[in-house]
Chain A
Amino acid sequence: MRKYIEIAKIYIKAQLVWRVDVVFNMVFTITKILFAYLLWGAIFGTKTEVAGFTFYSMLSYYIISTFLNQLDMSSGISNEISAKIRNGTFSKYMTIPVNIEKYFIAMEAGVVAFYLTFDFIAAIVWIYIFKIEFVFTTNFVMIAGALLMILLGLLFMVQLNYYLGLLTLKYQEIGTFLMIKNNIVAFVTGSIVPLVLLPDAFVSVMKLFPFYYVTYLPSMLLIGRYQNEMLIGLIVIFLWCVLLQIVIQVTWKKYRRKYDGVGI
């Protein structure tokens, strides 16, 4: 375990080198909040409620889901693995005594821990500046459930991107897979439009898939909604993590012999 903590620590340290990126990342959270402020301001107009949301509960949802979306930085993993398999530098993970998947999970944990701090500060600052009456549940069970769901959601996203990266062993080029994944994730996680605004049948289908539980449900839980979905949500996302882990192991076992380590 200590080796993975050290991997996380070294990636936290590595983030410090790119301080300007961090500042921009913080500053640009405002664009999303500003967009949401103007858009929903126009939609609400004189109405006090839309689909059961008040203007401020909608903004609170946006701030929380934006915050969670910013935390998921796992998409870099698929690109990194893909590039390393193609240029032969993936060998360096195969020759040291670590579990490669755990290495990438630890790496992601380091990056997330770093950005968590700064994104949290950014969110607080924007709430204060926009004088948003922030809606946040005080129910401890919901907070704990949401946090656990966030952890499982982040783990699932790392697993998914790790798996997509591994597909390079078979397909060489995984750009199409990544594009499909990115579009699905952007839509289905509810980061573009809260899923509550979509048809019930569509949402019911989405509940079977993991993305619903990555940012959407935790965000709703944190603003005090959908407590009845919490337990089943935790079970579904957990089962997806288990399933994906099995798929990863089968894929690795089947295709790792295709790795030739050639490149640079």
Chain B
Amino acid sequence: MIGPNGAGKTTLVKMLTGIIAPTSGKISVLGYYPNDLKNEFKQQYAVVMGQKSQLFFELTAEDTLRLFKEIYGIPEEEYQKTKNYFINLFDLKDLMNVQVRTLSLGERMKMELIVALLHNPQIIFLDEPTIGLDAVASKQIRSFLKEINEKRGTTIILTSHYMDDIKTLCKRSIVINHGCKIYDGDTEKLFEQYQKNKKITLTFDLPTELPELEYELELIEDSPYKKVMMVSKEKTSELLGWLMKFSPSDISVEEEEIGTIVERIYMEGGRAFA
């Protein structure tokens, strides 16, 4: 689920998990009305929401896992098997008996995911799973999620602002804005259709002035040592070739931000279901 801050992504996750009830309309997850808070329903899903940790900070992750084994009534043999599978997957063996509060944010998120997945849920809801994590930890989390989706068949519903999360993990994207669904369909098509520009950032060792540009682009920053510009995807490689003539010390090419894409979908006719 994609959308700018305040779009209603987290609210939707809360409704899907029964934390709050919808004020109007109908909602059904796995055949249950989530806000009935039935234990049979809770046995079939898991949710990881940023700051709302299930871990006991003063104890070890192993302690929390043991508690969740009992809460979900997991047989000992299955518990050991699942736990070891996740520990090996994340390479967390040495951290299982360490006080949770001493773990890094990335390590804590991995533990949080193991706790959530211990009972092998059919669906896992993740609200911004990689927020605040460094590139390495984010990548590990993504590959972990990909694996549990492929190997264990767990459906993953996640909200994210990060392009990497969405492109790597999601075949289907739902774009939300102001509480309304404005796109629901194939992720590739979404970016093909609405991600129209790329952002190029150039830095120079010497003060540099670019001549009148022949390309249709938007110059965001134009200082002697740095130029930032937005250019259409199709023209990017051609422009880069031309810019190389000015011997930049560094070049970066970034994808357009999610917010811009959402805004474009919204501007180009609101509901654009694929």
Contacts and interface: CB of A to CB of B under 8 A. Distances in A.
Interface of A: 2-3, 5-7, 10, 13-14, 17-18, 88-89, 91-92, 94-98, 257, 259-261, 264
A97 B71 contact: yes
Contacts of B72: 97
A182 to B, nearest CB: 26
B19 to A, nearest CB: 5
A238 B23 CA distance: 39
Given A14-B58, A94-B37, A261-B19, A6 B49 contact: no
Contact of A6 (B18, B51, B67): B67
B108 interface: no
9 contacts: A3-B70, A5-B70, A10-B63, A14-B58, A17-B58, A91-B19, A95-B19, A95-B45, A96-B71
B71 A264 contact: no
B52 interface: yes
Contacts of B133: none
Contacts of B226: none
Contacts of A13: 59, 63
B14 interface: yes
B14 A14 contact: no
A5 B67 CA distance: 9
A18 B54 CA distance: 20
B39 A7 contact: no
A126 B32 CA distance: 58
Residue with the highest number of chain B CB atoms closer than 10 Å, among A13, A17, A18, A95: A95
A88 B66 contact: no
Please give me the 5 A-B residue pairs with the lowest Cβ-Cβ distance, nearest first.
Answer: A6-B70, A97-B39, A97-B42, A264-B51, A17-B58
A95 B34 CA distance: 10
B222 to A, nearest CB: 41
Contact of A14 (B18, B43, B56): B56
A92 B39 contact: no
Nearest to B38: A97
Contacts of A88: 52
Contact of A261 (B14, B64, B68): B14
B267 to A, nearest CB: 29
DSSP majority for the A interface?
A: helix
A95 B71 CA distance: 12
Contacts of B42: 95-97
A10 B67 contact: yes
Contacts of A98: 39, 71
Interface of B: 14, 17-21, 35, 37, 39, 42-43, 45-47, 49, 51-54, 56, 58-59, 63-64, 66-73
B71 A259 contact: no
A18 B57 CA distance: 13
Given A6-B70, A260-B20, A96 B59 contact: no
B30 to A, nearest CB: 14
Contacts of A89: 51-52
A17 B51 contact: no
Nearest to B101: A17
Contacts of B47: 95
Given A7-B67, A10-B63, A91 B56 contact: no
A92 to B, nearest CB: 5
Given A88-B52, A92-B53, A95-B42, A3 B20 contact: no
B19 A259 contact: yes
Contacts of A257: 20-21, 35
A96 B54 contact: yes
Contacts of A14: 56, 58-59
Given A10-B56, A17-B59, A264-B51, A94 B66 contact: no
A248 B64 CA distance: 28
A10 B58 CA distance: 11
A10 B21 contact: no
B67 A91 contact: no
B122 to A, nearest CB: 14
B76 to A, nearest CB: 12
A187 to B, nearest CB: 35
